[in-house]
Structure 1
Amino acid sequence: MVFKVYYQVTIAEVPIRENTKTMYVEGESIRDVRFKLKEEPYNVELVAPVTGAYLEYEKQSDDFKVLELG
């Protein structure tokens, strides 16, 4: 399953909406995705599943690249 992760680049700063970035990660569950990202220096705000029509819409974006983290 593909998840959209909203995050701040650095964990040391207060989250600001304008600085929020997104990435797409493949995983089994929200918990699995958060576990895969725990070693990264990101401040993860939200992990949301992307399925159906929403996934098809996101695939049209030039920024759509699914990360397969181990």
Structure 2
Amino acid sequence: MIFKVLYQQSRDEVPVRENTETLFLEADDIRNVRKKLTDKPYNVEFIQPLTGKFLDYEKKSAEFKLEKI
């Protein structure tokens, strides 16, 4: 399954919408996504599973790139 992760670059900063970054990961479940990101300094705001039309929409975006973590 593919997940969309919204995050801030640093855990020390207060989340600001304009600074939110996005990455896409393939994992079995949300717990597995969090485990993959534990060694990163990210402040994870939200993890969204993508399926069906939501996934198709994101794939059309120029920013869609599956990360290898």
* Runs of 5+ unmatched residues, structure 1: none
What TM-score comes out, normalization by structure 1 length?
Answer: 0.94
Two-structure CA RMSD over aligned residues (Å)? 0.7
1:65 alignment partner in structure 2:
65
What TM-score comes out, normalization by structure 2 length?
Answer: 0.96
Supply the distance in 2 between the matched residues of 1:27 and 1:67 (Cα, whole angstroms): 11
Q: How far is 1:68 from its partner?
A: 2.8
Q: How far is 1:63 from its partner?
A: 0.6
The percent of aligned pairs where both chains have the same amino acid is 52
1:29-68 matches, cutoff 5 A: 29-68=29-68
Deviations 1:10-62 (A, max 9, x none): 11101111111110011000010001001001000111100001100100011
Supply the distance in 2 between the matched residues of 1:25 and 1:16 (Cα, whole angstroms): 22
* Runs of 5+ unmatched residues, structure 2: none
Supply the distance in 1 between the matched residues of 2:67 and 2:10 (Cα, whole angstroms): 19
AA at the equivalent of 2:28:
E
Runs of 4+ residues deviating >2 angstroms: none
